Amino acid sequence: MHPLDEAIDLKPGAPNTFTGAPHPAYANMVGPFGGTTAAQLLQAAWLHPERLGEPVALTVNFAAPVAEDEILFLARPARTNRSTQHWVIEAQQSGDTVATATAVFALRRETWSATEAVMPSNLPDPASLARMPSPGPIRWPQSYDMRFIEGPFPETFDEQEQDHSRSCVWVRDEPERPMDFASLAAMCDSFFPRIYVRRRRRSPIGTVSLTTFFHADSIQLAQVGSQHVLGVAKALNFRHGYFDQTGEIWSPQGQLLASTHQLVYFKD
Amino acid sequence: MHPLDEAIDLKPGAPNTFTGAPHPAYANMVGPFGGTTAAQLLQAAWLHPERLGEPVALTVNFAAPVAEDEILFLARPARTNRSTQHWVIEAQQSGDTVATATAVFALRRETWSATEAVMPSNLPDPASLARMPSPGPIRWPQSYDMRFIEGPFPETFDEQEQDHSRSCVWVRDEPERPMDFASLAAMCDSFFPRIYVRRRRRSPIGTVSLTTFFHADSIQLAQVGSQHVLGVAKALNFRHGYFDQTGEIWSPQGQLLASTHQLVYFKD
């Protein structure tokens, strides 16, 4: 079983509740990688017997470090309409809230469609690029195969401020795993903190809020399979302890699979 | 009293609850303008006796049309840390959920700061531009003074598809009102649907999820006062009934006050 599938293998409990735990393959500096927690929160709605359709929007707020202990997930369909469903989700440990989330699920229909964002072009193939070595002993980056075109995790924190924080990277689960909403939700948090790319300076950071819009449905995700997808990310603003980070995940065939936006605390 | 202040003048009830109502100055096609509802949801946390600091992130999910009737706001501080506070907020009418929200509040500190996004330059002064006439009988756009530089609400729905959906607009509350978090939260939803700009074709639409990151604190907002601020917006992707819309609000002095991202349903 793939580590991500183990991580999202939540056990149903009382109505609207599931239990799970952090997975060692996604361990971070303190607690688990937030992307995996986001995937678990989404999975609590996905597994719910009253689920309608597929996710189109997910917001996760990281309220406290998640301990290496059981997590209780509470997933409540707050409103179910004909073609949309609104979820309020919460993760608790020992009775305390460690994360909150909301999600919108929907039944999609064929409509006029168009992509206005522009995927970077003339990119080298993933196979022609070296896989990024894991930056230090942290476990979760080893659960991704990342091949950077621009803006990698700094090789050295030399405190040479860069003039931008843009990154462009081919990424896939490691080991390989067919793309689905759980892996896409997690991958949307796999961009390293923009402030590291920009400042090349160590500073404690922590995502406080992460929003992902899913532009793809499960059919499109199945077509991606276990290929690398392209991630692009940048920051818009750093100010007084918080910066934002905005990203896109593209299929190799040029379909925008997700757009994702997060707000991150930084210490100094 | 300014209409927006009337709209957010929520009355405290039982612990964690407030009541309010849609305001006629912000009436939309069906129910109220979502921006005002977002401001009300934020205000429920702002007015709460246990509030810590100021908002840094807000996500609102619009679950159902809001009726011209009393709204019950439930605002619960799910987690309060030393410098951050996580809110789960809900709006109900007659016992049914009409909107859900989460918010992160924080105490900010002075840190290294930088703006990476680029404000459009060489812009004409608001005073040199004509105020956009209200598009039809809908009331809420009349509560804003909008002066478009690019991408206005289409004068005619001639179904001539444009190659992009970008807008650039000077905007302020009408009548004038000093900027604060409530007006900024509302203004982040004041961009007209990108699909109208792109397709010049009428189609039923409705925002399902709206996320705003506040880059400014109350001191910076007070400095803006009642000046016009610059709004820029674009879409990244339209597909199978949903498109996203991403925007920035800039002070006239070039400070990024907020970045905002929404997912919008469209019928065809």
Q: How would residue B123 be classed by pLDDT, with cut points 50, 70 and 90?
A: very high
The tokens describing A231, both together, are 């991630």
Residue whose pair of structure tokens reads 């996320």 in the numeric block? B211
Cβ contact A267–B106 (<8 Å): no
Residue A61 contacts B where some CB pair is shorter than 8 Å:
yes
In the beta sheet, which residues pair with residue A139?
A: none
* Residue A220 contacts residue A179 (beta carbons within 8 Å): no
Q: Which residues of B touch A116 (CB under 8 A)?
A: 164-165, 198, 234-238
CA distance A255 to B1: 49
Q: Which residues of B touch A235 (CB under 8 A)?
A: 116
Please tell me whether residue B9 adopts helix, strand or coil conformation.
coil
Residue A209 contacts B where some CB pair is shorter than 8 Å:
yes
Cβ contact B240–A90 (<8 Å): no
Residue A211 contacts B where some CB pair is shorter than 8 Å:
yes
Q: Which residues of B touch A246 (CB under 8 A)?
A: 246, 259, 261
Chain B: give the shortest CA distance to residue A95, in Å: 11
* Residue B181 contacts residue B218 (beta carbons within 8 Å): yes
Q: What pLDDT score was predicted for residue A230? A: 98
CA distance A44 to A215: 20
Residue B17 contacts A where some CB pair is shorter than 8 Å:
no
Residue A198 contacts B where some CB pair is shorter than 8 Å:
yes
| C-beta contacts of B199-202 below 8 A and 24+ residues apart | B199/A112, B199/B159, B199/B161, B199/B162, B200/B154, B200/B156, B200/B157, B200/B158, B200/B159, B200/B160, B200/B161, B200/B162, B201/B157, B201/B159, B201/B161, B202/B157
When CB atoms are compared, the residue of A61, A238, A248 closest to B104 is: A61
CA distance A201 to A196: 6
Q: Which residues of A touch B102 (CB under 8 A)?
A: 59, 61, 100-102, 209
Q: Which residues of A touch B97 (CB under 8 A)?
A: 78-79, 86
Q: Return the percentage of chain B with pLDDT > 90, whole number.
A: 97
CA distance A130 to A118: 25
Please tell me whether residue A159 adopts helix, strand or coil conformation.
coil
Report CA A30 to chain centroid distance, whole Å: 17
pLDDT string in tens for chain A (268-residue length) = 999 999 999 999 999 999 999 999 999 988 999 999 999 999 999 999 999 999 999 999 999 999 999 999 999 999 999 999 999 999 999 999 999 999 999 999 999 999 999 999 999 999 999 999 987 889 999 999 999 999 999 989 999 999 999 999 999 999 999 999 999 999 999 999 999 999 999 999 999 999 999 999 999 999 999 999 999 999 999 999 999 999 999 999 999 999 999 999 999 9
pLDDT per position as a tens digit, B60-109: 999 999 999 999 999 999 999 999 999 999 999 999 999 999 999 999 99
Chain A: give the shortest CA distance to residue B159, in Å: 13
Residue B139 contacts A where some CB pair is shorter than 8 Å:
no
Residue type, A44: A
When CB atoms are compared, the residue of A101, A113, A241 closest to B240 is: A113
CA distance A122 to B129: 41
Best B223, B237, B262 member to test A by mutation, with max A CBs in 10 Å, is B237
When CB atoms are compared, the residue of A100, A113, A261 closest to B239 is: A113
Q: What pLDDT score was predicted for residue A135? A: 78
Secondary structure element (H or E) that encloses residue A245, with its range: strand A242-250
Pairing of strands A96-106, A84-93: antiparallel
When CB atoms are compared, the residue of B78, B217, B256 closest to A236 is: B256
CA distance B12 to B47: 8
| B20 burial level (CB within 10 Å; 0-12, 13-18, 19+) | buried
The tokens describing B184, both together, are 């900024």
Q: Average of pLDDT values for B223-245?
A: 98
Residue A76 contacts B where some CB pair is shorter than 8 Å:
no
pLDDT per position as a tens digit, B148-199: 999 999 989 999 999 999 999 999 999 999 999 999 999 999 999 999 999 9
Q: What pLDDT score was predicted for residue B118? A: 96
CA distance B60 to B72: 15
B163 Cβ contact list (under 8 Å, min separation 6): none
Q: Which residues of A touch B88 (CB under 8 A)?
A: 88, 90, 100
Nearest Cα residue to A24 out of A6, A44, A42: A6
Residue A200 contacts B where some CB pair is shorter than 8 Å:
no
Kindly tell me if the per-residue pLDDT of B32 is higher than 90. yes
CA distance B25 to B32: 9
Best B92, B242, B248, B266 member to test A by mutation, with max A CBs in 10 Å, is B242
Cβ contact A59–B240 (<8 Å): no
By CA distance, what is A59's nearest residue in B? B59
Cβ contact A239–B113 (<8 Å): yes
A247 Cβ contact list (under 8 Å, min separation 6): A188, A191, A231, A232, A233, A234, A259, A260, A261
Best A89, A163, A214, A261 member to test B by mutation, with max B CBs in 10 Å, is A261
Angle at A16 between CA A15 and CA A21, to 5 degrees: 110
CA distance A213 to A53: 15
What's B50's DSSP letter?
A: T
Secondary structure element (H or E) that encloses residue B241, with its range: none
Residue type, A117: A
By CA distance, what is A235's nearest residue in B? B116
Q: What mean pLDDT value characterizes chain B? A: 97
pTM, rounded to two decimals: 0.98
Residue A267 contacts B where some CB pair is shorter than 8 Å:
yes
When CB atoms are compared, the residue of A110, A240, A259 closest to B244 is: A259
Residue A52 contacts B where some CB pair is shorter than 8 Å:
no
Q: What pLDDT score was predicted for residue A29? A: 87
Peptide bond into A24 cis (omega under 30): no
Residue A162 contacts B where some CB pair is shorter than 8 Å:
no
Cα torsion B7, B11, B13, B15: sign: positive
Chain A: give the shortest CA distance to residue B9, in Å: 25
Phi-psi region of B151 (alpha: psi -120 to 50; beta: other; left: phi over 0): left
The tokens describing A24, both together, are 């060692």
Q: What pLDDT score was predicted for residue A248? A: 98
Please tell me whether residue B46 adopts helix, strand or coil conformation.
helix
DSSP collapsed to 3 states, B95-138: CEEEEEEEEEEECCCCCCCEECCCCCCCCCCHHHCCCCCCCCCC
Chain A: give the shortest CA distance to residue B28, in Å: 21
